[in-house]
Structures are given as structure tokens and as C-alpha cells.
């Protein structure tokens, strides 16, 4: 079995503070970490590898720093790490990212399962997973807490109301894992050293994947930032329904 894990790096939110009044972001310590949900996806893939024996291939785009995330993934137990590195990838939006990953997964070949985080810590969009499933023409399970494989089918556990439900999907399929779904393992210290001394992630560029310039043109146009008003405290609500709306609006639930 071959499992692909798609990863991305995000800026560690502990390293910056947002001043809503001044409408500025102060970066005190610029540290890039692997997206927590993607780490859970990697752990799920490695658990499947331990149980069933699988080849785990990690894909990540981004500048040179993405190499750290890939080395970290390799040190944790992945078999192959591939850096999708091309200057043309740097402007990618969700649509282009899904296209790049789909081409890379085609190139890896004979992939049974793709896992990734259900949403990135920074954008929180959760769009690349389903977009990638669409680009591959595969079914999707979003926000799973656990995934197992049995007789050519993936079984995923998802929250369902107050309880949990099991979903079954035929392979190949794409499963996204929620952050906090599992406890990612720690890499062995010696393997971290090895990952920098002896290991070099593979690098694939746009021509390697057969992607033209047109396909890499982003559609989403970023038009700056906006800052929510400072936290309002002491708001009294009239009804529980109003509270539920407020929680949904703030994406707390």
C-alpha cells in the first residue's frame, strides 16, 4: 500500500502578536512549524504503516524552509519526502496547490490513500483537501479522527452529533484529519541528525510535473488585511439561540 501525506508549513502563532487597535502584526520570532493537523495526518499514515506495512510518501510545497518539515517527517518514519519546489509555485492559491499536488501524486504512482490535515492553522480554509480529491477524481472524507484500512476500503471515524460515526470509502480515497485527532510521535534523536547529514529530500519542479504556466496562475487576489474590533467583553445576550449564532460566527463551534 502506498500512502501520500500532503503537508504545509505555517507561521508559529506563538511567535507573533496582533495589535488590533494599531492594525499591525508584530512578529517577534519567525518560526515555521508543520501545520498541526498535517502532523496528525502523518501520524495516522505512520500508524497504518506500522500495522499493515505501507510506503509513506510526504509531499510539501514551499520555499527552502519546507525542507525542514520534510526532514522532520522523514525522521518521524516516512519513507520518502518530496519537495515540490519551483519559483512558479510560490504564488499558488488553493486551486493551483491542488493541481500541483494532484500531478505529484500521479507521478508518485499507484497511490491508495492520500491523507492531509483538514485545515491549515493560518488560513483555516480547509479547501485544498476537497479540491485535491476533485482534481484526482477521488472520494473524500473530511475531518476524520481516525482512519484504518481493511480489504481495499478505508474506514474513518468522524464526530456525529454528540457521538461518533464510522464511514466507509473504497480506495483510492482522500481523508483529511482534524487537528488533535492523535498524538504525533516524536522523531528519534539520531534520525533527526541523519535527516540533515545523510538525507536529502527529492525536489520536483514544474517541468518535472508537466505543469504549464497557465495552470499555475492563481485566481485568488489577496487584497490586504483587516482587523476585527478589539475584543468586546461583558456582552449580555438574550437567548441561547443568540449564543449559538455568536459561537458559530466566531467559528468556536
Q: Say if residues 47 and 182 touch (Cβ distance below 8 Å).
A: yes
Choose, by CB under 8 A, the member of 152, 170, 207, 210 that binds another protein: 170
Choose, by CB under 8 A, the member of 159, 193, 202, 210 that binds another protein: 159
Here the contacts of 166-172 (C-beta below 8 Å, separation 24 or greater) are 167/141, 169/139, 169/141, 170/139, 171/112, 171/113, 172/111, 172/112, 172/113, 172/114, 172/136, 172/138
User: Which span (28-36, 70-78, 83-91, 176-184) binds another protein, by CB under 8 A?
Assistant: 176-184
User: Which span (61-69, 77-85, 174-182, 204-212) binds another protein, by CB under 8 A?
Assistant: 174-182
Choose, by CB under 8 A, the member of 77, 117, 126, 201 that binds another protein: 126
Instruction: Note whether 22 binds another protein by CB under 8 A.
Output: no
Choose, by CB under 8 A, the member of 9, 53, 141, 194 that binds another protein: 141
User: What is the contact mask toward another protein in residues 99 to 118, using x (rule: CB under 8 A)?
Assistant: --------------------
User: Which span (1-9, 31-39, 59-67, 155-163) binds another protein, by CB under 8 A?
Assistant: 155-163
Choose, by CB under 8 A, the member of 112, 127, 194, 208 that binds another protein: 127
Measured from the CB of residue 77, what is the shortest distance to another protein in angstroms? Answer: 19
User: What is the contact mask toward another protein in residues 211 to 240, using x (rule: CB under 8 A)?
Assistant: -------xxxxxxxxxxx--xxxxxxx-xx
Task: Give the C-alpha separation, 113 to 200, whole Å.
Answer: 24
Task: Give the C-alpha separation, 122 to 12, whole Å.
Answer: 9
Here the contacts of 169-173 (C-beta below 8 Å, separation 24 or greater) are 169/139, 169/141, 170/139, 171/112, 171/113, 172/111, 172/112, 172/113, 172/114, 172/136, 172/138, 173/113, 173/114, 173/133, 173/138, 173/139, 173/140, 173/141
Measured from the CB of residue 16, what is the shortest distance to another protein in angstroms? Answer: 9
Instruction: Note whether 185 binds another protein by CB under 8 A.
Output: no
Instruction: Note whether 64 binds another protein by CB under 8 A.
Output: no
Using omega within 30 degrees of 0 as the cis cutoff, is the peptide bond preceding 77 cis? no
Measured from the CB of residue 196, what is the shortest distance to another protein in angstroms? Answer: 29
Task: Give the C-alpha separation, 114 to 160, whole Å.
Answer: 23
Which of 125, 193 has the CB closer to another protein?
A: 125
Amino acid at each position: 500500500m502506498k500512502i501520500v501525506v500532503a503537508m504545509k508549513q505555517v507561521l508559529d502563532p506563538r511567535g507573533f502578536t496582533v495589535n488590533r487597535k494599531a492594525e499591525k502584526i508584530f512578529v517577534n520570532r519567525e518560526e515555521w512549524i508543520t501545520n498541526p493537523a498535517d502532523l496528525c495526518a502523518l501520524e495516522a499514515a505512520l500508524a497504518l504503516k506500522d500495522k499493515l506495512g505501507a510506503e509513506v510518501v510526504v509531499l510539501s510545497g514551499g520555499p527552502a524552509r519546507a525542507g525542514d518539515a520534510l526532514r522532520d517527517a522523514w525522521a518521524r518514519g516516512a519513507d520518502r519526502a518530496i519537495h515540490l519546489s519551483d519559483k512558479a509555485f510560490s504564488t499558488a492559491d488553493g486551486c493551483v496547490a491542488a493541481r500541483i499536488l494532484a500531478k505529484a501524486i500521479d507521478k508518485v504512482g499507484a497511490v491508495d490513500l492520500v491523507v492531509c490535515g483538514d485545515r491549515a492553522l493560518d488560513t483555516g480554509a480547509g479547501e485544498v483537501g476537497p479540491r485535491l480529491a476533485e482534481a484526482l477524481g477521488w472520494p473524500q472524507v473530511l475531518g476524520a479522527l481516525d482512519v484504518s484500512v481493511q480489504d481495499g476500503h478505508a474506514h474513518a471515524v468522524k464526530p456525529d452529533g454528540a457521538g461518533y460515526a464510522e464511514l466507509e470509502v473504497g480506495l483510492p480515497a482522500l481523508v483529511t484529519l482534524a487537528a488533535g485527532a492523535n498524538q504525533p510521535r516524536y522523531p528519534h534523536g539520531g534520525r533527526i541528525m541523519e535527516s540533515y547529514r545523510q538525507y536529502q529530500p527529492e525536489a520536483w519542479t514544474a517541468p518535472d510535473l508537466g505543469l504549464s504556466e497557465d495552470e499555475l496562475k492563481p485566481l485568488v487576489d489577496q487584497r490586504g488585511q483587516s482587523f476585527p474590533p478589539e475584543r468586546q467583553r461583558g456582552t449580555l445576550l438574550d437567548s441561547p439561540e443568540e449564543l449559538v449564532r455568536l459561537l458559530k460566527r466566531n467559528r468556536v463551534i
